[in-house]
Structure 1
Amino acid sequence: MITISNFEKYVLPQILVRGEDYYESGAVLEIEEESTGEWIATVCGTENYEVTVSMEGNEIVAWECDCPYDGNICKHVIATLLAIRDSRGKAGRFLSAKEANTQLGLLGKSMPQIVKDKEIEQILLFAESDKLSDFILKYAASHSDFKSALVEAFLPKRPAKKVDYRNEIESCFNSSYRKYSKKGRYYEPELDWNEISDKVDGYLAKATLLFQREALEEAATIALQVLRSIGGNYIDEDFLYNDGDIDFGIICEDAGDLLLKVVQHSGASQALKENVLNEIIQISKLATYREYEIFDMDELVQQIMLSVQSKEEALLSVDKLIKERTERWDLYKLVLRKIEILKELDKTTEVEATISEFLYLPEIRRQEVAKLLDEKCYEKAICMLNEGIVIAERGGNLGTLREWQEQLLFIYEEVHDVAKVIEMCQLLFIHTNGSLDYYHKLKSLISSTDWKEYLSTLMQETTFYDYWGSGNNKADIYIEEKEYDKLFSFLSAVKYRRLDALVQYASHLNATHSSQILSLFTDDLRVYAEKNLGRSHYEYIARVLRGMRKLNGGKDVVKQLVEEFRVLYKRRPAMMQELGEF
C-alpha cells in the first residue's frame, strides 16, 4: 500500500531526487485540500502544471499531473506529496518551501566560527561516508545555524574563485569505458552512463541550490554545460544495452526547466538572458538533438526566446532558424511557432501567407485539414487533400499518402458519396496490401452478382505480403470467400517459411485437401529436420507433428514420419526426447 509516509519506496531514485529539488526550490506554488483527501496543487516546471492527489487517510489512492511525462509518477507529483506531508505550518495551512524557509529564517542566521577538534578529526578518519551523510542530514534538519554554515562553506554566494563548471562537467564524460571495444558477440558501451548520470545529477542539484541563492550566472552555466556535454557525448548505441534506469531526456528537461527559471527571474540581467539564449541556440544545433528524440531542444529554444526577446525579436529569430533548417524533418515545429507568434501579434495576413508557404509540410496541412473538417467545409478539405496526395506521391511518402486517402474516405462517407467511397476503399486496399478492413467495406458496397469478378480483378492488382504471424490477408480472404482450391494453391506456392503457413491454415483445408496438405507437411518437415539442430528446433518439429495428427489421416502419416526420424536421427538424443510422446 502506498502511503504518505512510504511513497519514496515506489519511485525511481532520479524522479524522487528531482521531486525533492522541485519542492525545496519552491516550485509548489499553490496547494489546497478541496475536500477531505482531495488535493490540488500548482507546480512550476517548464510551465505551470496542475497536480491532483486523492487520499484515504494516509493511503495515496490516485494521482494525476497534466505535464507531458508518460511514466508512472512524475517529479511534480513527488513535490506535491512532499508538500502535503512536510509543509504544514503553524497557521494550519500548507506552505510552499520558499514560505517555510522564509519563516524559519534559515538563510539569515549568523554562522558560528568553525573550530578544529582533534577528536573530530580522528572520527573523520574512520567514519563511513553514508553514515556521516545521514548524520549531517538529520542534524542540519534540526539545527538551522549548522545548516547555514554548511551551505556557506560548500555553496557560497560569492566563491573565493570562479569555478570552471564547463570543464568539470565535461570531464564527467571521461570514463573507463571510453576505449571502444567489442568482446566476442557482446557489445561493450563506450561510456559508463550510470556513473555519468549520477555525477550530472549532482551538478544539477548544485545548480538548483545556486539558483535558490540567486547565483543565477553559475546556475545557468551548469545547466547549459549539462545540455552541451550530453549533446556532444551521447552515444545512442550504448542505450540499446543499458538496464533502462537512465533517462537523459529527464536530465535535459531538468536543465531546461532551470534555464527557463533563470531567464524569467527578476534578478537576471538582460546580458545574462541574451547569453543563455545564444548558447542554447548553438547547443540545439548539435547532432544529438537533431537526430535523436531524447529531448525537444527546439521547444526549449523557443520558450527561452519568448522569455528573453520581444515578440518581434522572437519572430526574426524564428525566421532565421527556419532558413537554416529548411531541409530538416522537424522544420514544422519552427513553422508552427512562427504562426503562433504571428497570431499573438494579430498579423492575420502573414499567418495565412506562412501557412500557404509551408503547406507542403504534412504537419501544417494536417492542421489545416482538421480545421476544415471541424467547420464541415468538405469541398475545400477535398481540394487540400488531393493536393497533398500529389505531393506525397511525388515524394514517395506512402504513409502520408495513405493518411490523406483515409481522410478523403471519411469525407465521402460523411456525405454518402458511395461511388467515391468505393474508389477510395479500392485504392486503400491496394496500398495496404489487401487490408481486411477495406475488403469488408467493399464487400458491403459491391452487389453480390458483381462481387466475385470484382474481387478477382482487385486481388490481381494488389501485392500481398507473404507474412506468417498473426495472419495473412490473402489467405484470410480466400477463407472468408470459401475459395479452398485457391487457398491450397496459394499455400503450395509459398517459398519462405511454408511450414508456418501450413500450421496456421491447414485446419481450414482439412475437409477438402487433407491428403495434399499432409504431403506438403511431410516434405517440408523432412527438409527442416535435416537442416536444423538444437532443442528449440526439435520442439518446433513436435508442435508441427501435433498439428498434423489433427488432420484427417494425420495419425498414420505422423506415426510413419516419426519412425523415419527415429532411424535417421537416432544420434540426436534431444530430438528423441521430444519425439517420445509420439
Structure 2
Amino acid sequence: MITISNFEKYVLPQILMRGEDYYESDAVLEIEEESPGEWIATVCGTENYEVTVSMEGNEIIAWECDCPYDGNICKHVVATLLAIRDSRNKVARFLSAKEVDSQVSIPEKNAAKMVMDEEMEQILLFAEPDKLSDFVLKYASSHSDFKSALFETFLPKKPVAKLSVDYQMEIEKCFNSAYKNGPKRGRYYEPEIDWDEVSGKVDGYLAKATLLLQRQDLEEAATIALQILRSIGNNHIEEDFLYNDDDIDFEISCEDAGDLLLEIVKHSGASQVLKENILNEATKISKMATYREYELYDMDELVQQIMFSVQSKEEALLSINHLIEERKEHRELYKLVLRKVEILEELGKTVEAEATLSEFLYLPEIRRREAEKLLNGKCYEKAISMLNEGIVIAEKAGEYGILREWREQLLSIYEEVHDVAKVIEMCRLLFIHTNGSLDYYHKLKSLISSTDWKEYLSTLLQETTFFDYWGSGNTKAEIYIEEKEYDKLFSFLSTVEYRRLDALVQYASHLNATHSSEILSLFTDDLRVYAEKNLGRSHYEYIARVLRGMRKLNGGKDVVKQLVDEFRVLYKRRPAMMQELGEF
C-alpha cells in the first residue's frame, strides 16, 4: 500500500532526488485540496505542469501529471506529495483529544492497536527520510528477524530452474521512458532521452543484482546482468546513446554487468545448467551491432572468459575454432588466436600451438609477440627474417605504422650486433618514412664520414618528402641551418607556397647576414598580398608583428617605413589598421 509516509520507496532514486529538489526550490507554485482527499497542484518545470492526487486517509489511491514522463511516478508528482505531506503536518501533527475520545468504545486490545497504528502513521509523516533509513539500517543489523522480514518484503527469494525474462520489459523500459523536453519546435517540444536518468535506473538494477548475488540468488542476478547488456545493445541505434552530452559512460555499466556474470559462473553454488545458459545468452548478445561495430565494450573477451569457466578445455577449443572461423576479418582476431594457443599449450599440444602461431603470423600482434620471444632468446637471424617478412606484408597492405615499427625493431637489432652498414640503411629508410625526422638525420651524420656526408645528404633530401610545418619548425629548414647552407635555406623559403609569411618570420633571422635584402623583398611582396586579402583586428595585429620583425633586419627600418606609408594611403578607411600601425 502506497501511503503519504512511505511513497519514497516506490520511486526511483534519481526521480526522488529531483522531486525533492523541485519541492525545496519552491517549484510547487499552487496546491489545493479541492475536496477531501482530492489534491490539485501546479508544478514549474520546463513548463507548468498540472498534477492531481487522490487519497483515502493516508493511502495514495491515484496520481496523474501532464508531463511527458512515461514512468511510474515523475518528479512533479514527488514534489506534490512532499507538499501535501508538509501541508498535512502543519494542520495536525498528533491525534486530537476528540479523536482519542471517539475510540474509547472500541475493545481495549483493538483500540490500543489502532492508536499505535495511528501514532506510527503520524511519526512517519514527519520522519526525515535520511534518519528513517539510518534507523532501519541500524535496527536491521542488530535484529535478525527484522532483517529477514526486510529482505523477504523487498527481495523475496524466487526459486528459478532456468534464466527468466522477468526483467526484460522492466530494464528495457529504462531506455524508453526517460524522456525530457528538448528544444521547442513551434507549439511542441522535441523529446530527448535523459541519459542521466537512464544511467541512474541501470545503476539501480546493477545494485540489486549485486545484492542478489550476495544472497546467492544467482539465477535472478544473472538475469538482470544479461538484460542490462542486451538492453544497451538494443538501444545502440540511438545516436545520442553512444555520444551523449551528459558524460554518461555506459561502458562502465557493461563492465559491471560483465564482472557480475563472471562472479556468478565462478561461484561454487552455480549449477552447470545456469553456467551454460549464461554462456549461450552472452554469446547471442556479443553478436549485436553495438558490440560488433562500436568500441563500447569487449563482449568477445567476456564470452571467452565465461567459456573457460563453463566448458572443458576440449569444448573451449572447439568453440574458439568456431569463433576464429567466424571472425576472420575482425580487428581483434589475434585475441582469439592467443586464447587458442593458450588452451593448446595447457593441453600439451605444443606442435599444434606453434602451427597456429605460424598460420596467423600475418597479424601484427602475433608477429610482434613472436619477434619479442626471438629477441629475448638472442636469436637475431630468425628475428630479422621474421621482421623482413612483416615489412613485405605491411608494404602490400599499406600499413605504414606497422612498417615503421618493424624497421625500428630491425634498427635496434643491427645496433646491438654492430652492423653499421645495416644501421645506416635502416636510418635512411626511417628518415624517408618519417618525412625527415631529425633523430635519424643526427644518427646518419654521426655514422657517415665527413667527406661523403654532403653528397649523401643531398641525395637523401631529394628522396624525402617534407611537410610545411611552421611555428613548430620545419625539418628541412632546420637541417639547412644546422649545415649552414644559407643559400639553400633562402631558395627553400622563396619557393614555399603555403603560409610563407610564417616561414619568413620563423627563419629570417638566420639569413640576416647573408640575404637580408632578398628576405625583405619577399616580406614586402607577401605582406602586400596579405593586407589586401584580410580584414579585421586580428589580421592587422599580425601585420604589425611582421613589421616589427622586419625592422630588426639589416635595412629593415627603411623598408618598413615605406610599406607603412603605402598602407596608410591604400587603407585609410580601415581605422583599426591605422591604430595598429600607429607605433610605426
The answer, yes or no, to whether TM exceeds 0.5 is yes
2:133 is aligned to 137
Q: How is 1:402-481 mapped onto 2 (pairs within 5 angstroms)?
A: 402-481=404-483
1:524 is aligned to 526
Unaligned runs of 5+ in 2: 1-13, 15-112
Report Cα offsets for 1:353-374 as digits up to 9, x if no partner.
1001101111000000000000
Report Cα offsets for 1:226-262 as digits up to 9, x if no partner.
222223324677666635x422222221111101011
Q: How much has 1:567 moved relative to structure 2?
A: 4.5
Report Cα offsets for 1:273-317 as digits up to 9, x if no partner.
111111112222223323333323222111111111111111111
**Amino acid paired to 2:138:** S
Contact 1:189 1:238 in 2 (8 A): no
**Amino acid paired to 2:355:** A
- Aligned pair partner of 1:242 in 240, 245, 253: 245
| Structure 1 residues 284 and 238: CA distance shift in structure 2, 3 A | closer
Contact 2:178 2:195 in 1 (8 A): no
What secondary structure, in the 3-state scheme, does the structure 1 residue paired with 2:516 have? helix
| Structure 1 residues 396 and 151: CA distance shift in structure 2, 3 A | same
Q: How much has 1:572 moved relative to structure 2?
A: 4.4
**Amino acid paired to 2:154:** F
CA–CA separation in structure 1 for the residues paired with 2:133 and 2:114: 18
Contact 2:435 2:466 in 1 (8 A): yes
1:304 is aligned to 306
CA–CA separation in structure 2 for the residues paired with 1:190 and 1:534: 40
What secondary structure, in the 3-state scheme, does the structure 2 residue paired with 1:293 have? coil
| Structure 1 residues 266 and 545: CA distance shift in structure 2, 3 A | same
CA–CA separation in structure 2 for the residues paired with 1:294 and 1:114: 56
1:153 is aligned to 153
**Amino acid paired to 2:133:** L
Q: How much has 1:114 moved relative to structure 2?
A: 13
Contact 1:464 1:474 in 2 (8 A): yes
- Aligned pair partner of 2:360 in 346, 358, 361: 358
CA–CA separation in structure 1 for the residues paired with 2:310 and 2:460: 60
Give the TM-score taking structure 2 as reference length: 0.72
CA–CA separation in structure 2 for the residues paired with 1:114 and 1:440: 94
CA–CA separation in structure 1 for the residues paired with 2:420 and 2:184: 60
Give the TM-score taking structure 1 as reference length: 0.72
2:212 is aligned to 210
What secondary structure, in the 3-state scheme, does the structure 2 residue paired with 1:173 have? helix
| Structure 1 residues 344 and 485: CA distance shift in structure 2, 3 A | same
**Amino acid paired to 2:483:** E
1:381 is aligned to 383
Q: How is 1:329-348 mapped onto 2 (pairs within 5 angstroms)?
A: 329-348=331-350
CA–CA separation in structure 1 for the residues paired with 2:499 and 2:180: 43
What secondary structure, in the 3-state scheme, does the structure 2 residue paired with 1:151 have? helix
**Amino acid paired to 2:417:** V
1:398 is aligned to 400
The aligned length equals 461
2:102 is aligned to none
Runs of 4+ aligned residues of structure 1 deviating over 6 Å after TM superposition are: 113-116, 122-127, 176-183
1:325 is aligned to 327
CA–CA separation in structure 2 for the residues paired with 1:165 and 1:573: 70
Q: Whose radius of gyration is greater, 1 or 2? A: 2
Pairwise CA RMSD: 3.2
CA–CA separation in structure 2 for the residues paired with 1:570 and 1:123: 83
Q: How much has 1:221 moved relative to structure 2?
A: 1.5
Contact 1:140 1:147 in 2 (8 A): no
Contact 2:178 2:197 in 1 (8 A): no
Report Cα offsets for 1:157-183 as digits up to 9, x if no partner.
2399x8732222222223677999999
CA–CA separation in structure 2 for the residues paired with 1:115 and 1:434: 91
What secondary structure, in the 3-state scheme, does the structure 1 residue paired with 2:175 have? coil
| Structure 1 residues 338 and 525: CA distance shift in structure 2, 3 A | same
Q: How much has 1:136 moved relative to structure 2?
A: 3.5
Contact 2:165 2:223 in 1 (8 A): no
**Amino acid paired to 1:156:** P
Matched-pair identity in %: 78
Contact 2:279 2:303 in 1 (8 A): yes
